[in-house]
Amino acid sequence: MATLTFLSFLILQLFLITNNCEGVEVGFYKKTCPNVEAIVKETTKHYISIAPTLAAPLLRMHFHDCFVRGCDGSVLLNSTKGNKAEKDAIPNQSLRGFQVIDAAKSALEKECPGIVSCSDILALAVRDAVSLINGPTWSVPLGRRDGRVSILSEASKNLPTPFDNFTTLKTTFGALGLNIKDLVVLSGGHTIGMSHCFSFSSRLYNFTGKGDIDPNMDQNYINRLKIKCKPGDVTTIVEMDPGSFKSFDTDYYTMVAKRRGLFASDAALLSNDQTKHYVLTQLNQHGSTFFKDFGESMVKMGQIGVLTGNAGEIRKHCAFRN
């Protein structure tokens, strides 16, 4: 009897593992919600047409979701009385664009209730937002389910930081199945968006704790940044890709090659032969492969730790568990 019980347990575990390994696929909702992509795109287009700068925080939101517990929409969950969620971690407090996801979810619940996950909506909205500001587009595999767990400390621990050196970046990305090419390609997302001064001010004023500057940053650029960012400034924001921060393009690699990448993590791309080669190749070829590469790496990142089959849930409201 005990043997049969144990055998039944093994069969059940095998069933659950199999169902959670179905993976994601393009066209997942073609029978259950055929208009899903059109609805998400229309919603995203509405918001981006009003505020194009939302594209960058939406892209960052997807990154931050996938790097903690996989792409399961855990970054969308609100904190509760008994639990502080990822959304409230310091790196996530500057995220914006949750209203885009909520609006798309509301529209989809009217069209096909209980079918499309919030994590899939986020993956689609990011693709559409990037495309709408002159960036690439790509086919998004779908079929993710939403996670039920979101813990502040995991976001604080697992997210890459703007202060990371190449070794740390390689380890962080590698632990999630992303290689060195993915690292340098996805870093190209810094071509859009803004950053607070405190994310890079140590490079301007106190790089090694001796009141010095970062020797890996262009001196003229440092002087320009010092005009905007004074010591201890925690409120001012600056463009991550000056003059081009609203348009998705290859200018980021031009800035990095000139030692004008804003973050220490940007400068780190010049400290490794493979990433440096990619930066210079995009520069010399006017970024001829970047758009294609970015789409491929986004698809790869979008499949980190996904919940499928019977795992997780399909949330009714993206900020709350069912």
Would you name the residues annotated as active-site residues? 64
Task: With both helix axes pointing from N to C terminus, report the angle between 180-187 and 290-301 in degrees, rounded to the nearest 10.
Answer: 110
The CA angle 303-56-238, to the nearest 5 degrees, is 140
Phi, psi dihedrals of residue 90, rounded to the nearest 5°: -55, -45
Compute CA distances 120 → 27, 40, 72, 123, whole Å: 12, 10, 8, 5
CA distance readout (Å), 303 to 72, 94, 177, 298, 306: 10, 24, 10, 9, 6
Residue 236: closest CA among 277, 179, 196? 196
List own/partner pairs for 213-216 with CB under 8 A and 24 or more apart: 214/264, 214/267, 216/259, 216/264, 216/267, 216/270, 216/271
Find all residues with CB under 8 Å of 198, minimum gap 6, and list them: 233, 234
d(CA 108, CA 56): 24
CA angle 23, 29, 31 (to 5 degrees): 125
- How far apart, in whole angstroms, are the C-alpha atoms of residue 168 and residue 101? 31
What tokens were used for 319?
């900020």
Residues 243, 247, 248, CA angle at the centre, nearest 5°?
Answer: 120
Cα-to-chain-centroid distance, residue 211? 33
